[in-house]
Structure formats: C-alpha cells, structure tokens
Homo-oligomer: A and B are copies of this chain.
Amino acid sequence: MAAAAAPPPPPTPAAILLPDSTPTGHPLFVRVRLATPSDVPHIHKLIHQMAIFERLTDIFSATEASLSSTLFTSPPFQSSTIFILELSQTPFPPSPTSLFFSPITQIVTLDLPIDDRETETFKSNNRDGGFDAVIGGFVLFFPNYSTFLGKPGFYVEDLFVRECYRRKGFGKMLLSAVAQQAVKMGYGRVEWVVLDWNVNAIKFYEEMGAKVLQEWRICRLTGEALQAYGNPAN
C-alpha cells in the first residue's frame, strides 16, 4: 500500500563497528531537496523497499517507466511532489536559490557512524560540482482540498527512510519540510494515513502535533471493479 510509512521501524541488530578515535561524535550532513527526474531509479528502489517493509509487495507494480511518465508532469507542489533526503560525511555546497524550494540542511551529530551497506546503490545523482551524497529516504505528497476550510492542503502519500537511517529524526525532518511548505503556501492541513497497529508511528505523529481520526475509513475502488465503470452503460 502506498501510504505513509516507516518511522519508527522495528529494532534491528546493531552493525558491528570498530572503536572510533573521535570522542566528539560523528557529524552527518543532511539535506532535504526537491527530487528531479534523474532521481527516479532511486525513488523506484525506495518505494520497493517500502513495499517490503509494509508486506505489500503483492500490490507493488510501479516501474521506473511508469514513475517517469506520471511524476514531474507539472511544477513542484501543483501535483505529486517529492522531497529527497540526502546524507553526506562532508558539508553540502551552498544550494543555488530556487524559485520553488530552497533545500533545507542540518548537521546531526551521531555517537556512532551509520553503517550504510547500500551506499553504492543509493549514491545521489544530484551532484553539485562532483560532490557525493547518499539518498536516505523520501516523502511524496500532493495537494488535496478541504471544502470545509475552503482551501487546499497537502496529502502525504509516502514517507520512507531507509532502515539504517531510522530513529535519527530524519522522518520528522521530511514531514516537517512538507508542513513548513504548507504553511508557506497558506494551506490549511497536512494529512496522511497510518496503520492502526503501528503504535510507535502513531505516537511519533501525535508528538508532531497530528490528530488521529479514529472514525473514518478509506474506501477504495480499483482493479477490475474500477475498470467496470469504463463502460458508460454501467
């Protein structure tokens, strides 16, 4: 299911790391930026990892081609929009000013370095003058509309952080970036969904200020049941 996911994850065995000589911690440079079409291969891999996490690979049918032909079809924030989470051992170069979105950067100091075993797979294509960064997650959102407020909002379809980068505040950083953009645009709401048994995620979202609407259920018309409406006689 393509719905907001992931943070926080189940505990995983700690990676075995050699003792480090730096007693002051390990700085990690973090950036949230707009995705571009060149990110599609990475986005596709991240969505697949999310489908595995949610045990929903049976309904995963997206391809790089289907993503490429349906994303980036309008300016950012007008339809589906993706923020990419990038991580680097060295500081990011200054971002060029953007008409749509200026990247958000942060420095996180970790007790232990993160053991990312997929750095090659997730090396960012968005290089600034040869600068290397690794993609750690993404958030995909699009405008919705509240008739009661009489104004648009954002709906967060996916929020995903790769396993080795979880529990470090990066999910919050991505979701906050969406909320901040909503406020900037004068929008009235940010909404997403959560599985009712995912108590850690619910706690996390509530701490971020969200309310969980207990009475509403999602109805979905898809597959053959939807196709049946293609016949106007239906």
Contact = CB atoms under 8 A, between A and B. Distances in A.
Interface of A: 1-4, 47, 50-51, 56, 59-63, 66-67, 70-71, 74, 78-80, 104, 140, 142-153, 155, 157-158, 176, 179-180, 182-184, 188-197, 202, 205, 208-222, 225-230, 232, 234
B190 A226 contact: yes
Contacts of A194: 216-217, 219
A211 to B, nearest CB: 5
B216 A211 contact: no
Given A1-B216, A152-B80, A211-B220, A183 B140 contact: no
B221 A210 contact: yes
In the complex, the count of this chain's copies comes to 2
25 contacts: A1-B148, A2-B147, A56-B148, A59-B148, A61-B149, A66-B150, A79-B145, A140-B145, A153-B222, A179-B226, A182-B226, A183-B227, A189-B226, A190-B226, A191-B218, A191-B219, A193-B218, A195-B217, A209-B221, A209-B228, A212-B217, A213-B219, A214-B217, A216-B217, A216-B218
